[in-house]
Amino acid sequence: MKTPNFYASGPIDRASHLRTDQDWISEQLASPNSVLIPLWKMQSLVLEGRQPVGARVPLSRGLLFGADTVVFLGLLDGVAHFAADFSGYEDPPLEEHGRFADMRGLGQRLGHEDGSLLVYARGAIQWHARHQFCGTCGAKTESRDAGHMRQCTNPECKAQIFPRIDPAVIMLVHDGGDRVVLGRQKVWPPGQQSVLAGFVEQGESLEDAVAREVFEEVGLTITDIHYHSSQPWPFPSSIMLGYTALATSEEMNVNFDEMDDAGWFTRQQVLDAQNTPDASALRLPRADSISRRLISDWANQ
């Protein structure tokens, strides 16, 4: 079996059947054995070191009073783990337990288990922060099911709102031989290149979205669209769906409104960038991303 993508397939048991068991959840929230995964202004609490680790804070009543939102994440080794949002504090709290840092910068330095646990907690808390009001009637919403649903407080509405995940396709386009399409965005550092990507639109299959995005960005038509793997990317709420596809022609028509540039790169160029990153003019995507995984799997096949 393939190694899971970073952030995916963590060891937590989500134990979803327990979310609606209010007595059990209350018991866990009163137990000093339970663990909090704290967030503050969308930053995660970590212990710095050669390899940073996610801080696990023993739960206490006092701590819970300061939390805006608490979400039951699941069980790790039988222990209940909760994400808790401390964004109400002006200054970072819990300093005796670690330092708050943004997962977007930190992710690739964490171990796999911590990476998956901390992005799950971050995604859950950010969803609550962005869904405080009902999209149907505008009234306040309240957390339900241990943080896995929100419900509108307007008795005429009572709309139930479930966590939203936005699908995005990301695709490696190749020529069937030794060349691959890479492109870059204007804001990226010099030399940085990646595979193409974009959001899925209403009424599209994933394959439709892959073909449309490739045509919009570089003017290539493609065939042989094959699923590769997926990766949660909760920055704020995406899932990246990875594909490979074969270009049916080689002449590109790059859309410079969307991209800084794009072009064909050889397998050797990619391998050089992978093996000697400091000596190469080509910079590959960060190590924890599915884009890097798609490029490496293709280059090493």
Give the footprint of Zn ion on this chain (CB under 5 A).
Answer: 134, 136-137, 139, 152, 154, 157, 159
**Are the C-beta atoms of residues 264 and 181 closer than 8 Å to each other?**
yes
CB of 76 to Zn ion, least distance (A): 35
Nearer to Zn ion, 141 or 193 (CB): 141
Q: How far is the CB of 104 from Zn ion (least distance, A)?
A: 32
Closest CB to Zn ion among 132 and 253?
Answer: 132
Type and span of the H or E element at 124: helix 112-130
Report, in Å, the least distance between residue 142 CB and Zn ion. Answer: 11
The residues pairing with 246 across neighbouring beta strands, listed in sequence order, are 174, 223
Rg of the chain, C-alpha, whole Å: 22
DSSP secondary structure string, 227-267?
EEEEEEETTTTEEEEEEEEEES-------TTT-SEEEEEEH
Helix (H, G, I), strand (E, B) or coil at 168: strand
Taking the C-alpha atoms of residue 82 and residue 76, their distance in angstroms, rounded to an integer, is 11
Q: Which is nearer to Zn ion, 105 or 138 (CB)?
A: 138
Nearer to Zn ion, 64 or 149 (CB): 149
Smallest gap from Cβ 158 to Zn ion, in A, equals: 7
Distance CA 194, CA 276 (A): 17
- Give me 218's structure tokens: 């570089």
Q: Name the residue nearer to Zn ion (CB basis): 158 or 226.
A: 158
Question: Smallest distance, Å, CB 160 to Zn ion?
Answer: 10
- DSSP 8-class letter at 109: G
